[in-house]
Structures are given as C-alpha cells and as structure tokens.
Structure 1
C-alpha cells in the first residue's frame, strides 16, 4: 500500500492554500512593477555627486514615499471604485493593458515612459533632494504599481480580510527590498554589470507580461466576453 510522505503532503497543502497563492501574486505583481533594479541607473545618475550617507538617505525617502503612495491607494481602493462607479473587470482590463505596455518596455531593458519621462533624470540631478519626486513617484510608485495594487484590492472580498493584510505586507516587503537595492546600487552595478541588470530586467518584464495577460483574461472572463473554463 502506497503511503504519502507527511512532509510532502504538508508542503503540497501549503502551496495550494489560497492565502499562499494570493501572497505570491501580490508580492510578484507589486515588486515587478516597482522594479528597483531597473531604477539603479537613474538613481546613480541622480545621486552622482552625493556621498554614501546622502545616497542612503535619498533611497530611504524614495522608498517611504513609495510605501505611502501604494498603501494609500490600497486603503482607499474600494472607496475609489465606489466613488467613480468602476467595476473590477473594467479595471482589470485597463490595468492589464498598462502592465502589458510596461512589461514590453522592460523586455527591451528600458524604463517605461509612465515611470520615467524624458529629462526626469537630468532635471532631478540638479535638485537638492529628489527622493520624493521623481525617485519615489513615479519611478518606484508609478501608474503600473498603483494599477496593480488597485486590481488586487478589487479582489478583496472583505476590507479586514487576510487578503488586505497580504497586500499591505507585499507593499512593505517590496519597499524594504527596494531600499536595500538602491542603497547598495553602486555595489550591485559592479557585481551584476550593465549586462546583468538588463538580463534581470528582461526576465522580470517577461513575467510581468504574463501577469498582465492574466489580469486582462480575468477581466474579459468576468465581463462574459470569454467563457469560464
């Protein structure tokens, strides 16, 4: 008689648990869109004349700004939906299109125009403190990251459910990782090199395109355009 390994069974149950799947979706979608690795080049250009302490302080301010912006949209997402009469399927389709455009830009190893407009880096390099704008927003907390958070919030059945906690947790983890990446941007660039960073951004872009298509398909399915399987 075949007996299942208890450890393997427990691992399978953990992997298929709804909260684990939702946590993985929330963290991957938010992190790929904040994408601190793609911001390394711009961050180093903006902080070219700054010392290590000021560079770390600017990275911290950028990530705190990103946290405040994304958390605000997470907490107010349901209210925004009701205020403007926006349905989740419509936002999933719109959000999927935005993520697709950003993902396609990432496949070419470049920042999307929604995250970094032409001239932003040069202009910010002359600012005394560019941690809030443009580093915090829109380079980290851009339209794509905000759209992803809004789509995730739209899937939360109860405001005080575990899903909301997972979304806020994913935002927190993403911002913490982003701080460490930007604070160590110089060392990361030396270790990975321009080629390594471009490869990493392209991989994240490919995963983001797949995620965008999933949002798009979910929206069309909820609208009844595509039959449910």
Structure 2
C-alpha cells in the first residue's frame, strides 16, 4: 500500500470511529503525523486528497477541519467524475444505475407522500404536458424526479440521484426530439407514478418507475 493511501486510511479511521467529528479541527500537522506514525509529507498529501473529495476543509491561516460530511458535499466529487465520462457507454451505465435506485426511491416515497405532495407532483405533470419545447419538458422532467427522490426521506439517495441526473440531460433532450410520442409517454408514466404514490402503494410505484427508466435504457441500447 502506498504511503499516502495508508495516511488516508488512518485519517479516515479517526473520522469513522468518531474520534474526529464533523466540524472538528485536526491537530497540528506535526502533532498528528507523530501520533499516526506518518511523515509530515505523506500526511500533507492525505489531507490534500481528502479535501478534494470534501471530507476535510482546509482553511488557510486557520487549520484543517472535518467537513459537515453532508451528502450534497460528499457526492460533489462524483459529479466531477461523471462530467469526465460522457460517452454513450458511460451514459448507458448511468441510466442503468438510475434504473436500480429510482424505483427504490419511489417505493420509499410511497410511504411518506402527503395529499399536498401528490398535488404538487401532479402540477409538475401538468406543466410537462403543457411544455412547448423539448427543453421545457426536460426541465419539468428533472424537477419531477428530483421531487420524488426528495420525498423518499433519504438525503443520500436523493442527492445521488440528483447527481446522476445531470449526465442524462442531453439524452433526455435528444430522445424528446427524435422519438415519436416521447412527451406523452413521459407524462403518462409520471402520472402513473404519482397515482401509486398517492395511493400509498410502494410496489406499484416501484414497478412504474422501473418501466419509466427502462424505456430510456432501451432507447439508448437501440442507438448503441
């Protein structure tokens, strides 16, 4: 194992064990390096790496702190990785991950959605149906999926799905232009998902979500 990797693991263990908590300031570099049996250089490289993935927050002139470790911060690094991989093969893999995760989010949301929540989701369906451009349709589509994921009550799942949605925007736009009936199919499937959520039917919501995402996946497979 590389020295820097070992240093990263040592710092990570301190956070996982609770020895260092969100917002805590790390001991001075010399003190921490001696305590962990590391060179100051390897510790410095570990801190740099952990700050890039937003586990640590390096504040010039103040010190290094454990970040809030919130989902939206930690998953920001994933967004950067996805931006670097935008080929058709990578896009298909992203959609396949969505097909696994979004139905789970829908099933969780079906246990939490209120009548008011369902009304708001139906309003998004109405807005998508009234959209005059593909860009507007995609905007409402993204808002719908983001809202359903938020209703799952799982912040990590919601943030992960939101991060995965970004790379698929162009595919959504192209499908809206190229595939006949894409708009009506999208709205109809969204409405079916909302009906299942409003009725408190997790497995029905899961099934409709699977069908919805699988449609995009099949379209991409045909293009491949």
Q: For the superposition of Structure 1 and Structure 2, which TM-score range results when normalised by the shorter chain? A: 0.3 to 0.5
Compute the TM-score of the two structures, normalised by the length of structure 1.
0.34
Larger radius of gyration: 2
